[in-house]
Amino acid sequence: MLREKIQETFSEAKERGWVMEPQAKDLLRVAGTDIPRFCFAKDVGEAIQFANEINYPVVAKVVSPEVIHKSDVSGVVVGVRDDRQLGEVFTELGKIKGFQGIIVEEACRGIELIVGMKMDKQFGPIILLGMGGTAVEIYKDVALRMAPLREQDAESMIKSLRARPLLEGYRGADGINAAELKRMLLAFSSLVMEVGKEVESVDLNPVICNASRCVVADARIMLAKR
């Protein structure tokens, strides 16, 4: 099942060199990670219908084969409150180059982490866990381990972050569900081992973690160059 899904996803993405968010999330769902309820809406009616199913507020994101980093082109709008605003957002995102539609997605709250993978020349697949968001390369609070992860690796990755007190619940704030994060890391590790050398790198950023869930809110899979 997973193998077939990988093949389907990669053959669609081959020419482009990277897997777009809707397809990446479908793959991650099959791999056993938790993803937000979402819909890849190609027209505004579809978007509004889905938003009403999952209830506002929602997140809207551009889907375009020309846009790898959505936030660089203002392609992500959070906290969309109602039909009218969603309609405006659809029109606005529609102006972005290569527009194919938008992702309408349930809004998740929590601490933003990044989980990633890189195919390393000397060590093969490497998994990264760190504090996520757009500032990840500034703070570089990350842990790296060689895949496949063992239970003890997933645990030590979480514990080794400088932001560990935040994850455990700092100054009265809720901590994250560490067991869910661990489960997510191990599921991702299995996926990484399955895809092998076809992938160059993966960013799951952000992975939003709260007291109950760890949800992959965005995903980007870069395929290996041929």
Partner 1 sequence: MNLKRLFKPATMAVVGVSLTNESHPANVVYNKNRLRYPVSVFAVNGKGGTLRGETVYRRIQDIPAKIDLAVIATKAEIVLSVISDCIEAGAGGAVIVSGGFAETGSADLQNRLVTIAKKSDFPFIGPNCLGVFAPAHMDTFFIPGERLVIPNRGKVAMVSQSGGILVDHMVKCAAEGVGVSLAVSIGNKTLIKELDMLRYLKDDPETNVITFYLEGFDEEEGREFVLAASQCGKPVIVLKSGKTPGGTTAVKSHTASIAGDYEVFSSVVAQYGVVEAKDEFEIVAFAEALSCYQRSIQGKVAIITGSGGHGALATDACISHGLTVPSLTKSEQTELRGVVSPTIQDIASFANPIDLTGSATDEDFMAVTRSLSRNEDIECLIVLLLPYLPRITMDLGARLSLVCQQEGKPIVAYVPHVDKYKMLVEGFMLNNVPVADSVEDAVHMAEAMRRYRPC
Which positions from 202 to 221 touch partner 1 by CB under 8 A, shown as an x/- string? Answer: xx-x--------------x-
Q: Does 116 bind partner 1 (CB under 8 A)?
A: yes
Does position 121 interact with partner 1 (CB under 8 A)? The reply is: yes
Helical ranges in 63-125 per DSSP H:
83-93
Length of the chain (residues): 226
Q: Per CB under 8 A, does 194 bind partner 1?
A: no
Q: Which of 107, 109, 103 is nearest to 50 (CA)?
A: 103
Helix (H/G/I), strand (E/B), else coil: 167: helix
Buried b (16+ CB within 10 A) or exposed e, 120-145: eeeeebbbbbbbbeeebeeeebbbeb
Contact call for residue 187 and partner 1 (CB under 8 A): no
- Please identify, using beta-carbon distances, which residue of 171 and 226 lies nearer to partner 1: 226
Indicate which single residue of 21, 106, 153, 180 sits in contact with partner 1 (rule: CB under 8 A).
153
Piece in contact with partner 1 (CB under 8 A), picked from 39-47, 59-67, 139-147, 178-186: 139-147
Q: Is the dihedral of CA 10, 13, 19, 22 positive or negative?
A: negative
Q: Closer to partner 1 by CB, 156 or 212: give it.
A: 156
CA-closest candidate to residue 78, choices 86, 68, 66: 86
Least Å from the CB of residue 43 to partner 1 = 30
Q: Is 128 a residue that touches partner 1 (CB under 8 A)? A: yes
CA 96, CA 187: separation in Å to the nearest integer? Answer: 34
**Which residues are near partner 1 by CB under 8 A?**
18, 68-69, 114, 116-118, 120-124, 126, 128, 130, 136-137, 140, 142-146, 153, 156, 200-203, 205, 220, 222
